[in-house]
Amino acid sequence: MTEPLFGANLVAMVTPMEPGGALSEPGLDKLVDHLLTTGCDGLVVGGTTGEAPTLTDPEAAWLVRAVADRAGDRARVIAGVGTYDTAACIRRAHNAEAAGADALLLVCPYYSRPTQAGVIAHSLAVADATELPVMLYDVPARTGTALEAATLIELAAHPRIRAVKDAKGDLFEAMSVMAHSSLAYYCGIDELNLPYLACGATGVVSVVGNAFADRNARLIQAIRGGDLDTARALQDELHPLTEAVMRTSQGAIMAKAALAELGVIPYATVRLPLLESPPEHLRRLTEALAPLVAGLPA
């Protein structure tokens, strides 16, 4: 099987921070090493889970360069460049390309809620701005605007628009777009990784993978090999952690808390308007982590 352009086992990386909110280079280095060691072949930098709305342009570019330098040729680096302002997206795309990104992640413009024609014009403008391949990010719960199937199929005609991170959760629509375009699909909803992969998705862009990307790697391998029993067992094994991270408060908050609990990053610091996990959420997280940690090799 030809290796996917963006990788298959992608993680939506958190952005490690010091207690005051400054970016943490030691934390970032440890996180990249952890992700590569646990089987990640794609690192999504400065996306939703990376707290993109709070990052300045210089911070976003620094993150891409730092991750690209640390990862080398061991994983693709996909830089989140999406905002509600096309000009700002193009500026971030140029910065990401100069910093060493391998690809771009472009979310549908949020808050302004453009028409589908506006979404198409926006996406084409960003795709035309660099030589990097683009993964579209369809997450209407956050943006207020969905990428319609016809829009995705039209955008697939652009030579650099190559993939979709689907956080919409409409499996039938995803299968329809895959059937009528060459777009590679990536599940952007950890709760639905198994069904998306079983329906033909190329891979995942996982929040839970910050902590246990190795389980996702095995899940992808099981689906590719047609071993649904193993795939279901792996999904069941991850279920308590997926629920704790994705259904307790907010993914970035809980993923950082999990990484701090595992000793991968020193602090679970987030920037306002996010707040760190309260004790009751941390208890649920600790309970979910325990059996997974017990299963790690000594």
Q: Identify the active-site residue in 30, 84, 111, 137.
A: 137
Tokens encoding 198: 């079983």
165 is catalytic: yes
- Helix count (H) and strand count (E) of the chain? 12, 8
256 is catalytic: no
Is the distance from CB of 231 to CB of 222 less than 8 angstroms? yes
Neighbouring CB atoms inside 10 A of 111's CB total 11
Q: CA separation (Å) from 297 to 15, 240, 292, 294?
A: 27, 20, 10, 8
Place of tokens 């982590």: 289
Is the distance from CB of 107 to CB of 74 less than 8 angstroms? no
Residue burial 6-45, b: 16+ Cβ < 10 Å; e: rest: bbbbbbbbbbbbeeeeebbeebbebbbebbbebbbbbbbb
Q: What is the CA radius of gyration of the chain?
A: 18
Q: Identify the active-site residue in 110, 111, 165, 196.
A: 165
Q: Which residues are catalytic?
A: 137, 165
